[in-house]
C-alpha cells in the first residue's frame, strides 16, 4: 500500500528517453506498470501529445522534482506539479551532486517536512542511510525510495547489505528501489529481498527493444514478488542432496 493505494503492479516506470511516443505508449502498456513518473518542464509545444499518452495509459501519475538542487526549488516544483497533474503524490528528488545525482539528504528532509505539512504524499528519493530514512519518516513520509545505484548507471543494487539492513530496519514502511536498475535480474533481486516496488526508466527506454524490455521487467518484478511471498530457502555452506538416498541401488563394483 502506497499512501492507502493498492497498486495493480509493483513496477513503476519512467517515461523519459524513449525512441518515440508510440514506443513509450506501448512500453507502458506491456510492462503492466501501475505507476508512471513524469516531470514538469518549460512548455515546448509537444505537451498536448504527451498529456494524451498519460491519460490513455490509465496509470497513476507520480510527478517528480528531477533537476532540483535546493529544497525551495523542489517545493515550488511539487506545488506546480500538484496543480497540473491533480495529484498529491510527488517523487521528491533534491540532487546533491551533478556527477553522482546523489540525493542531498539535508535539503531532502527539509523539503519533505514542508511538503508533508502542505498535504503532499511524498515519495523521497534517498539513499540506504537509516538515519536519513528515520528523519524522512519523522517529517511525514510514509514511503521511502532508496537508490539501487546512481540514476541511469544500470549498476543494479550496489550496496546489497545496506539495502538488506534498511529493509529490516523499516519493516512496515513501503520501500521502493528507485534508480540504478539496469537488468530485469536486478529488479527481481530487489523484489526477492522484500522491497515493495521498483522504479526504473533508463533500462527500458535505452534497451534495443524497449517494448520487449518493458515486458521483461514487468515479469521480473512479478516473479520476484511471488518468490518473496513464497519464502526463499536459507543458503548453506555445504551441499545437501535433493534426491533421496533411501532406496539407492548399489551399482558400484564390489571392493
Partner 1 sequence: MQIDLNGQCLTTGATTLKDLIEEQGFDPSSVATALEGTFVPRPLRAATPLTPGARVEVLSPMQGG
- The answer to whether 73 contacts partner 1 (rule: CB under 8 A) is yes
- The answer to whether 211 contacts partner 1 (rule: CB under 8 A) is no
Distance CA 122, CA 110 (A): 12
Number of Cβ atoms within 10 Å of the Cβ of 155: 15
The cell numbers describing 182, all together, are 539496469
Quick one: which of 7, 23, 30, 40 contacts partner 1 (CB under 8 A)? 40
List own/partner pairs for 114-119 with CB under 8 A and 24 or more apart: 114/71, 114/75, 115/75, 115/78, 115/90, 116/140, 116/141, 118/79, 119/88
- The answer to whether 79 contacts partner 1 (rule: CB under 8 A) is yes
- The answer to whether 17 contacts partner 1 (rule: CB under 8 A) is yes
Task: Considering only residues 135 through 154, tell me which ones interact with partner 1, judged by CB under 8 A.
Answer: 151-152
CA distances from 56 to 25, 49, 50, 186, 251 (A): 9, 11, 10, 29, 66
**Is 91 one of the annotated active-site residues of the chain?**
yes
Count of residues in contact with partner 1, rule CB under 8 A: 35
Quick one: which of 25, 72, 142, 228 contacts partner 1 (CB under 8 A)? 72
- The answer to whether 202 contacts partner 1 (rule: CB under 8 A) is yes
Point out which span in 62-70, 107-115, 235-243, 244-252 binds partner 1 (CB under 8 A).
62-70
Distance CA 21, CA 25 (A): 6
Exposed/middle/buried for 83, CB within 10 Å: 0-12, 13-18, 19+? Answer: exposed
CA distances from 138 to 70, 109, 116, 134, 222 (A): 20, 9, 10, 6, 31
- The answer to whether 19 contacts partner 1 (rule: CB under 8 A) is no
- Say if residues 145 and 173 touch (Cβ distance below 8 Å): no
DSSP state of 95: B
Point out which span in 34-42, 157-165, 226-234, 240-248 binds partner 1 (CB under 8 A).
34-42
- The answer to whether 233 contacts partner 1 (rule: CB under 8 A) is no
The cell numbers describing 131, all together, are 538515519
Closest CA to 83 of 40, 128, 46: 40
Quick one: which of 29, 30, 54, 130 contacts partner 1 (CB under 8 A)? 54
Point out which span in 37-45, 135-143, 161-169, 231-239 binds partner 1 (CB under 8 A).
37-45
| Smallest distance, partner 1 to C-beta of residue 15, A | 4
The residue among 39 and 155 lying less far from partner 1, judged by its C-beta, is 39
The residue among 46 and 161 lying less far from partner 1, judged by its C-beta, is 46
- The answer to whether 16 contacts partner 1 (rule: CB under 8 A) is yes
Task: List the catalytic residue out of 27, 68, 82, 91.
Answer: 91
Distance CA 114, CA 230 (A): 40
Residues with a catalytic annotation lie at 91
Q: Which residues bind partner 1 (CB under 8 A)?
A: 14-18, 24, 37-44, 47-48, 50-51, 54, 63-64, 66, 72-73, 76, 79-81, 83-85, 151-152, 201-202
Amino acid at each position: 500500500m502506497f499512501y492507502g493505494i493498492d497498486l495493480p503492479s509493483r513496477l513503476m516506470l519512467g517515461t523519459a528517453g524513449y525512441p518515440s511516443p508510440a514506443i513509450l505508449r506501448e512500453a507502458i502498456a506491456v510492462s503492466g506498470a501501475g505507476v508512471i513518473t513524469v516531470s514538469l518542464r518549460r512548455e515546448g509545444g509537444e505537451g498536448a501529445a504527451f498529456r494524451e499518452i498519460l491519460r490513455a495509459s490509465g496509470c497513476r501519475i507520480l510527478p517528480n522534482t528531477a533537476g532540483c538542487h535546493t529544497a525551495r526549488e523542489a517545493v515550488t516544483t511539487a506545488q506546480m506539479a500538484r496543480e497540473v497533474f491533480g495529484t498529491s503524490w510527488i517523487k521528491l528528488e533534491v540532487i546533491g551532486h551533478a556527477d553522482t545525482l546523489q540525493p542531498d539528504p539535508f535539503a531532502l528532509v527539509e523539503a519533505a517536512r514542508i511538503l508533508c505539512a502542505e498535504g503532499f504524499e511524498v515519495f523521497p528519493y534517498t539513499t540506504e542511510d537509516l538515519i536519513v530514512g528515520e528523519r524522512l519518516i519523522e517529517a511525514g513520509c510514509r514511503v521511502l525510495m532508496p537508490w539501487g545505484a546512481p540514476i541511469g548507471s544500470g549498476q543494479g543494487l550496489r550496496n546489497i547489505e545496506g539495502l538488506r539492513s534498511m529493509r529490516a530496519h523499516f519493516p512496515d514502511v513501503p520501500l521502493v528501489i528507485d534508480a540504478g536498475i539496469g537488468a530485469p535480474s536486478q529488479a527481481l533481486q530487489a523484489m526477492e529481498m522484500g522491497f515493495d516496488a521498483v522504479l526504473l526508466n533508463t533500462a527500458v527506454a535505452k534497451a534495443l527493444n524497449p517494448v520487449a524490455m518493458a515486458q521483461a521487467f514487468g515479469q521480473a518484478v512479478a516473479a520476484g514478488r511471488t518468490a518473496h511471498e513464497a519464502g526463499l530457502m536459507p543458503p548453506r555452506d555445504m551441499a545437501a542432496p535433493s534426491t533421496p538416498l533411501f532406496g539407492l541401488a548399489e551399482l558400484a563394483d564390489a571392493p
